[in-house]
Amino acid sequence: CGEASTGREALSLVETTSPDIAVIDISLEDRNGVELIRDIVGLRPGFPCLVLSMYNETMYAMRVLRAGGRGYVMKQEMPRKVLQAIRHILDGNIYLSEKMSTRLLNHFVANSSADLPQTSDLSSRELEVLTLIGRGKTTIEIAKDLFISAKTVAAHRERIKEKLKLKSSNELLMYAIQFTIDGTTQVRPK
């Protein structure tokens, strides 16, 4: 039906072309893909959205599902996996990798948050800031990348430290680097 590089374009296409499904990236020029899913589902409740992203699904899959998305596939997967996910979602199901599905099932069976990333309390924007910190970006670079002020980035950094119970900027940096490397951080700095 169409292709868009911004959330605004994507919303317009959903309204004008009536696609069967939206395949969305997490990184868009004007907003986060999770926010776009919320907007699309707000416009068309129950509309099937699949995320196809380079980001590890442990970072975003739960956020996507909570926003109303129906699945998550990482870009490194073979095209047949993407088609399988699309068909699965169009049949009314949710699609996640076997690893992520098992992780979620273990969480619900054990009724414990121990299997989920400790970042689950962070907002989508805080998660973006954490990821950019882990990539070595400065506050000013993060502000430019996210089209927000350096003061707002500093406020996000403080909220992240508070939510993750980190005592210093160095602990935040160590945590962010480890998180960015493997998508989870199970060990907290002492």
This model's pTM is above 0.85: no
Order of strands across the sheet with 49-53? 22-24, 49-53, 71-74
Task: Please give the mean pLDDT across all residues of the chain.
Answer: 86
Whether the pLDDT of residue 115 is over 50: the answer is no
Whether the pLDDT of residue 148 is over 80: the answer is yes
- Tens digits of per-residue pLDDT, 76-103? 999 999 999 999 999 999 999 988 888 8
The pLDDT value given to residue 119: 77
Cα 180 off chain centre by:
13
